A and B are shown apart, each in its own frame.
Chain A
């Protein structure tokens, strides 16, 4: 999929008005598409879980249950809204918004198809091709944690508080591993613009999932933690914290957390598809290697509406793959314990991600020094290095080595037992002297 001899096509630049119109259309289309997809994801999740558990799943509303999300949405809007008496009203209302907005906004920087030529000029298929795309993305996705923490705190509910605390700790811990594993991508791309990430993967002839396999897996694990999906769903661990941070929420406010979760899943999947699976790139075909160099000029293949459509489909398929994995994993594994999540984040993921970054950077530097041309060979050498790192990482993760039971907390446990014993003795003394609090 090497770039053919630099063919340049002049399509023409959009005028300012054209830009505004195109952007508005893109925003509206992407927003409605994301919201509909999110709604369908809830249905898909229920169908997949049903399929895995030998059940039927929702099948009463509409053909095959297709209208179930609409019915759910309607129900949630019509439900009575409750406000706990002791909640902090402003923050209580603010939290669902803080949670849903970042989840939706992050979608703006993800390129979802090859540029579309129109009679008014070239329209890039990304809402905002921000030069600091990934930084924008990281910034906004970490804003999501505020929503959860504030929800947990403002509810004045202990389950919610514990859920919020867990969410805060967990998301901050995994943010680091997430950011670190992203670094390797930018060593290769040399830019943080997401459209550039797609182009560079086309140019390499390999999707980054292979040359950066170790970073890919680390990123994937971190994303699971970031989206609070099982096995990392501690903030809303149903059996422990009822529903965690959104225990006190009802009707549409609850629904907004729900939508935010699925929007996160969608954005994360789209992001992984972009970063590691070539974005909208169609494998094994050079016709879609279209690179915009500004002023409505493109290098590589000639843009056409059908290419845009095909690449969009490719992008959808890749995103769907990650979403499916999210869902299948959720219905397969049990949940981590809080301390295990922290251990995994700080003791395993962080050092491993650091090591991976250093080794990848070293390899890239060496390759550049040796004058290896950026292309298939370059990618294959990186693949070998990364697969070796990945094997070592999986060896560390192998069962029994990382996830110990509470046995690893023997000291803490003994301390607490001692404390409990002292407390009991004190209580026994106070009751025997007859000075009860009553």
Chain B
């Protein structure tokens, strides 16, 4: 009888000489390996989920060893979406890096735009205008809802609830429209500039946002009705993918994944930026660290984001959106066309780029997925010498094997979905 044993003890992507092999896992003829559990009398099954699979949220690949349907071991493989963003950034001027940031997390692009701009502004010692601060808070909170909605929809569809997915995508579509009305793009927003924004908010934009905020809670309530007390949903999510507070901290989890385990850590509260300390909002904290708590936390975070949005709209001041700093901000088009000095100024800023002083800076914000840190180093030129991103998804996914070893195959999908990862940012 022919027996095929799958041999995976070496790094599956690389051959003996370090070269790439086309069939990473090769069948080896022969007897079953002794390490295969003999107690049950059957071998384990190696199953490959992804990179092309309906539930891997991009191109994540999980190599899973199954005993029946119980997961014995899980190895995540990343890098299928590698785009070398950080290295690319070193060949672009400070402002040109911004389009790279929104391609990392295309589910909450504005948060990444803002975070990068903040890090560079900190390096250059620029304090943005009050209006800009509030506008950025509005944009970031809007994208937090945007990203959480995608999480909600995809997690639901991974557990079989298809309708929820389309409900959330209808709401996302409205945020897409808001993106488009402001930046002209639906996903690749590239909205921020060093020292301000690409433009002020267009007329009527705030009203559109308010309309969204008025009707959005209804959808949220509908989803709440469909899922929160649904006994199948509860059965699929409670006590699944549990991680203790201690383990969560040790794995470096952040965002809702960490808070669901009972650690109250939210950068908006603990290291407030942009006057977050003056906004009145709560940070939901779970206690069990399972999928259900993550779900509850994110649902509540969306409601809290709405609260922040309301307060931000109320306090949105008039005034300029960009700083009055000729080093970073272009003169107005009219001035550049009519006035010699302004034209020279325009030419210099465009051709040489914004220059940052020698030094380094780190700035972290609470993104929808966790702590998003931006680290930039400057040698005094117009390009970063080093740009590093502390991506929350990249660190969160490291805890995946810990959470699913010993769970069932169906749980793998559920836990993976509940972590809210985005592969663009993991692979960078």
Q: How far is the CA of A409 from the CA of B234 in the complex (A)?
A: 16
Interface residues of B (CB under 8 A from A): 7, 9-10, 16, 35, 37, 45, 47-48, 53-55, 67, 69-73, 156-163, 166-167, 170, 226-227, 229-240, 242, 290, 292, 405-413
Scoring A52, A405, A416 by chain B CB atoms within 10 A of each residue's CB, the highest score goes to A405
Q: Which residues of chain A in 384-404 are interfacial with respect to chain B, using CB atoms and an 8 Å cutoff?
A: 398-400, 402-404
- Distance (whole angstroms) from the CB of B149 to the closest CB of chain A: 15
25 pairs of residues in contact across A and B, judged by CB atoms under 8 Å = A158-B45, A234-B410, A238-B54, A238-B55, A239-B55, A239-B160, A239-B413, A240-B410, A242-B54, A334-B232, A335-B161, A335-B236, A336-B235, A337-B411, A400-B234, A402-B235, A403-B231, A405-B239, A405-B240, A407-B238, A407-B239, A408-B239, A414-B406, A416-B71, A423-B73
- Distance (whole angstroms) from the CB of B421 to the closest CB of chain A: 15
Residues of B within 8 A of A413 (CB): 406-407
Q: How far is the CA of A426 from the CA of B158 in the complex (A)?
A: 34
Q: Which 6 A-B pairs have the closest CB atoms?
A: A403-B235, A335-B160, A405-B239, A407-B239, A399-B231, A416-B406
A75 at the interface (CB under 8 A from B): no
Q: Which residues of chain A in 293-337 are interfacial with respect to chain B, using CB atoms and an 8 Å cutoff?
A: 331-337
Q: How far is the CA of A242 from the CA of B53 in the complex (A)?
A: 7
Q: How far is the CA of A54 from the CA of B170 in the complex (A)?
A: 9
A230 at the interface (CB under 8 A from B): yes
The B interface, classified by DSSP as helix, strand, loop or mixed, is mixed
Q: How large is the interface on A (under 10, 10 to 19, 20 to 34, 35 or more residues)?
A: 35 or more
Q: How far is the CA of A408 from the CA of B236 in the complex (A)?
A: 12
Q: How far is the CA of A412 from the CA of B68 in the complex (A)?
A: 12
Q: How far is the CA of A162 from the CA of B406 in the complex (A)?
A: 18
Residues of A within 8 A of B161 (CB): 332-335
For A344, the closest partner residue in chain B by CB is B235
Q: How far is the CA of A401 from the CA of B120 in the complex (A)?
A: 54
Scoring A334, A419, A427 by chain B CB atoms within 10 A of each residue's CB, the highest score goes to A334
A332 touches B10 (CB 8 A): no
Residues of B within 8 A of A240 (CB): 55, 409-410, 412-413
Contact of B69 among A162, A430, A437 (CB under 8 A): A162
B160 touches A417 (CB 8 A): no
Known: A53-B166, A417-B406. A400 touches B67 (CB 8 A): no
Residues of B within 8 A of A420 (CB): 72-73, 405-406
For B7, the closest partner residue in chain A by CB is A437
Known: A233-B160, A239-B55. A54 touches B166 (CB 8 A): yes
Residues of B within 8 A of A416 (CB): 67, 70-72, 405-406
A406 touches B240 (CB 8 A): yes
Known: A399-B234, A403-B235. A338 touches B70 (CB 8 A): no
Residues of B within 8 A of A338 (CB): 69, 408-410
B230 touches A333 (CB 8 A): yes
B72 touches A49 (CB 8 A): no
Q: How far is the CA of A420 from the CA of B71 in the complex (A)?
A: 9
B54 touches A405 (CB 8 A): no
A340 at the interface (CB under 8 A from B): yes
Q: How far is the CA of A238 from the CA of B238 in the complex (A)?
A: 22
Residues of A within 8 A of B157 (CB): 239
Residues of B within 8 A of A231 (CB): 160, 232
- Distance (whole angstroms) from the CB of A66 to the closest CB of chain B: 23
Residues of A within 8 A of B229 (CB): 399
B35 touches A426 (CB 8 A): yes
Q: How far is the CA of A334 from the CA of B160 in the complex (A)?
A: 4
Q: How far is the CA of A159 from the CA of B54 in the complex (A)?
A: 12
Residues of A within 8 A of B166 (CB): 53-55
Known: A52-B163, A158-B45, A420-B72. A334 touches B230 (CB 8 A): yes
For B227, the closest partner residue in chain A by CB is A334
Contact of B159 among A159, A335, A403, A404 (CB under 8 A): A335
- Distance (whole angstroms) from the CB of A166 to the closest CB of chain B: 8
Residues of B within 8 A of A233 (CB): 160
A237 touches B7 (CB 8 A): no
A419 touches B72 (CB 8 A): yes
Contact of A406 among B35, B53, B232, B411 (CB under 8 A): B411
A438 at the interface (CB under 8 A from B): yes
Residue interface mask A214-249, B partner, CB < 8 A = 1: 000000000000000011011001111010000000
Q: How far is the CA of A333 from the CA of B412 in the complex (A)?
A: 20
- Distance (whole angstroms) from the CB of B380 to the closest CB of chain A: 46
A415 at the interface (CB under 8 A from B): yes
Q: Which residues of chain A in 190-219 are interfacial with respect to chain B, using CB atoms and an 8 Å cutoff?
A: none
Q: How far is the CA of A398 from the CA of B231 in the complex (A)?
A: 8
For A426, the closest partner residue in chain B by CB is B35
A373 at the interface (CB under 8 A from B): no
Q: How far is the CA of A422 from the CA of B20 in the complex (A)?
A: 30
A339 at the interface (CB under 8 A from B): yes
A433 at the interface (CB under 8 A from B): no
A406 touches B407 (CB 8 A): yes
B233 touches A339 (CB 8 A): no
Q: How far is the CA of A53 from the CA of B169 in the complex (A)?
A: 10
A412 touches B239 (CB 8 A): no
Residues of B within 8 A of A119 (CB): none
- Distance (whole angstroms) from the CB of B228 to the closest CB of chain A: 11
A332 touches B226 (CB 8 A): yes
- Distance (whole angstroms) from the CB of A331 to the closest CB of chain B: 5
Q: How far is the CA of A408 from the CA of B239 in the complex (A)?
A: 9
Q: Which residues of chain A in 108-134 are interfacial with respect to chain B, using CB atoms and an 8 Å cutoff?
A: none
Scoring B55, B170, B410 by chain A CB atoms within 10 A of each residue's CB, the highest score goes to B410
Residue interface mask A365-399, B partner, CB < 8 A = 1: 00000000000000000000000000000000011
B54 touches A412 (CB 8 A): no
